[in-house]
Chain A
Amino acid sequence: MNGTLARYTKKFLAITAAGLLAMSAQAADPIRIGSFLSVTGPASFLGDPELKTLEMYVEKINEEGGVLGRQLELIHYDDAGNASKARNFASRLIRSDRVDIIVGGSTTGATMAAVPLIEQAQIPFISLAGATVITTPVKKWVFKTPQSDRMAAERILTDMESRGLTKIGLISGTGGFGSSGREQTLAVAKEMGNIEVVADETYGGSDTDMTAQLTNIRGADGVQTILNFGFGQGPAIVTRNYAQLSIDLPFYQSHGVASDGFLELAGDSAEGLRLPASPLLVPASLPDSDPQKPIVEAYKSEYEARWNAKVSTFGAYAYDGLMLAVEAIEKAGTTDKAAVRDALENIQGHVGVTGTYNMSADDHNGLTADSFRILEVQNGSWKLVN
């Protein structure tokens, strides 16, 4: 009896082992793209469209024959917006999944937690988070697709300057996005020289009325225009209070609220305000000569058809990340990590949804402030100004 069992067990083990061998031989074939995203949790509005984008375009690329004749395999984890989880998953992607490249990191926190591991393991990494610190100073293996808030500040101040507005009243949220935007705005204004910030007010993330701050700004000496750097519902309340106080100075918001949801909240009050945004908000009004137009339109229609949900700027960061990775692997002709990294660093004129990427040894973002378009709210919808 025991002998039979032992024989069966041996046979079973042999078959399993053979199967495992066959599987690992197959698994060596696809190009493994690793990802950790904040699909759930407080940053799910970033991670959810990012994951959907990665999934659908990996599928699409595979249907079209893959990259270098090999299929892509997406291995992804949900860090739920938690930086220490992000670090653990990055470690798992590197050590046990042995991925060829990582495209992920929805938030700056998650990205920066994973960066030391990635630098040590020497694996190319394209981050989907915005902060300047990710690529300044340049880290050998780290790249990112979104513009930084500094570029948004540059874009806004340049537009103000071109309208002859040089005295700014600044109001910003005290959250991470708002306070970083405030610092960058002050820094850029100082650099440009002719722009002066004459009022500098803040509001808390859950404040429900910013009339007092706006009244203060309105009373500031010689103020010509007002800029709000913030995220969430705060900027919508600022916009409404602005209209209630009937302040008639030109009004700017940041890219943090460049979404249709903001227009819904702010309603008529948003009329006439300007902000820097991705061309994804206004694909139809881009001129035909714009090289980004076909890519933006295709991404928008494919995403909306597949997921039956509105496309978001954040999903576009993942689209650009994946396409940059694919181009780098194709250019390198191999998945050798150092070769792919070198290819990534040498990408020139890669037209994405967010902008046109020109990477270099000292710029691992590859975008300029011009990749932001200035939009104005007219009759309740976005209108491309320049």
Chain B
Amino acid sequence: MAAARADPIMFSEFLQYLFTGITIGAIYALIALGFTLIYNASHVINFAQGEFLMIGGMATVSLTAMGVPMLLAIVLAVALAGLMGIALQRLAIAPAKDANVVTLIIITIGASIFIRGLAQLVWGKKYHVMPNFSGDEPIEVFGAVLNSQSLWVLGVGAVLVAVLVYFFTRTMTGKAILATSMNKDAARLVGIRTQMVLMLAFMVSALLGSIAGIVVAPITFTSYDIGIILGLKGFVAAAIGGLGSGVGAVVGGLALGVVEAMAAGYLSSDYKDAVAFSMILLVLFFMPRGLFGAKVVERV
């Protein structure tokens, strides 16, 4: 049947799947970057990353519903998420600082359940809508259409990646975070306050997550439990790209999104998630550290 179809239609279909994939992929990439950031600073995989996303979207929606102008609402929501990031580190991670990494990861899972429960109490279980930032009119390219919000997701994603690269390579604080991740004791010896650095990593990661949550909310809607599945997919993206690698997070996210969309389009929508999760198995089987993961040298 596909062969009977004219070529331009096939091309526009392919383009449509690609657009869909890149949009979703950019969302996964932003979430994956949040994982990467905290992983770099502490080797902890923060499973509350999805909740930052949810806080960003939900707080913006409820603030605008209260009459706060959109832009101010976004700023306040991001600030709120930043505070939650600090609170998570101070109240849940810091008290257990001598615990091993696995314990800390379990703490983040507990924290995510707590935050989700709190959000359910405050905001209820309903799904909420956020309007597109710039009009509902879709953009047409070679017969495929692109939601204008997708451009926002891609644009904001690109800006955030650039800012992060600058932060880690050019600023003292960014370098301090990297130093802490490489060797905590040595970092402390040269005068870096490692607890402070950890707090900073959680805060930046929360800011990142909440901004992602806000730009994607017009596409996905938002609700108290939106963080579960998006958080999981973001983690898959981070693992494919190689935990700890910024480039890996972006590539992993985009690859996951595009593979999912192509699978839904050309194979069957039933197998979409199966294909995505087989991909992580394959990548990890042949490249256990992910596509861009750092080589690990065991120190004896």
Residues of A within 8 A of B (CB): 45, 174, 201-204, 206-209, 211-213, 215-216, 219, 221, 232-233, 236-237, 243-246, 261, 264-265, 267-269
Assess A237 versus B220: contact at CB under 8 Å? Given A202-B270, A265-B127.
Answer: yes
Q: Is the CB of A244 within 8 A of B145?
A: yes
Whether A219 lies near B23 (C-beta < 8 A) is: no
Does B221 interact with chain A (Cβ within 8 Å)? Answer: yes
* A–B complex contacts, Cβ < 8 Å, 26 sampled: A45-B125, A202-B269, A208-B220, A208-B230, A209-B23, A209-B24, A209-B220, A211-B19, A212-B17, A212-B20, A212-B264, A213-B265, A213-B269, A215-B16, A216-B13, A219-B5, A233-B223, A236-B221, A237-B220, A237-B221, A243-B136, A244-B138, A244-B147, A246-B145, A261-B127, A268-B136
Name the B residues within 8 Å of A202 (CB-CB). 269-270
B92 within 8 A of A: no
| A-chain residues with CB within 8 Å of residue B164 when the two chains form the complex | none
Cβ contact within 8 Å between B16 and A212: yes
Of residues 262 through 277 on chain B, the ones whose CB sits less than 8 Å from some CB of chain A are 262, 264-265, 269-270, 272-273
Q: Count of B residues near A, CB < 8 Å?
A: 35
A216 to B16, CA, bound (A): 10
Q: Contacts A209-B20, A244-B147 given; indicate if A265 touches B5 (C-beta within 8 A).
A: no
Tell which of A203, A216, A261 has the most Cβ of chain B within 10 Å: A216
- Using Cβ atoms and an 8 Å threshold, which residues of chain A touch B145? 244-246
Interface contact A265-B270, CB-CB below 8 Å = no
> How many residue pairs bridge A and B at CB < 8 Å?
77
Question: B229 contacts which chain A residues (CB < 8 A)?
Answer: 206
For A209, list chain B residues within 8 Å (CB): 20, 23-24, 219-220, 261
Cβ 8 A contact of B221, one of A212, A243, A245, A265: A265
In the complex, chain A residues whose CB is within 8 Å of the CB of B13: 215-216, 219
Closest 5 CB pairs of A and B: A208-B220, A212-B264, A206-B229, A212-B265, A211-B20
Query: Interface 1/0s, chain B 17-36, versus A by CB < 8 A?
Result: 10110011001000000000
What's the nearest-Cβ distance from chain A to residue B61, in Å?
A: 12
- Alpha-carbon distance between A211 and B16 when the two chains are bound, in angstroms: 8
Query: Is B101 an interface position by the 8 A CB rule?
Result: no
Would you give the shortest CB distance from A225 to chain B, in whole angstroms? 19
With A219-B5, A244-B145 known as contacts, the answer to whether A212 contacts B269 (CB < 8 A) is yes
Binary contact readout B125-168 vs A (1 if CB under 8 angstroms, 0 otherwise) = 11101000000101000000101000000000000000000000
B1 at the interface (CB under 8 A from A): yes
Give the distance in Å from the alpha carbon of A339 to the alpha carbon of B88 in the complex: 63
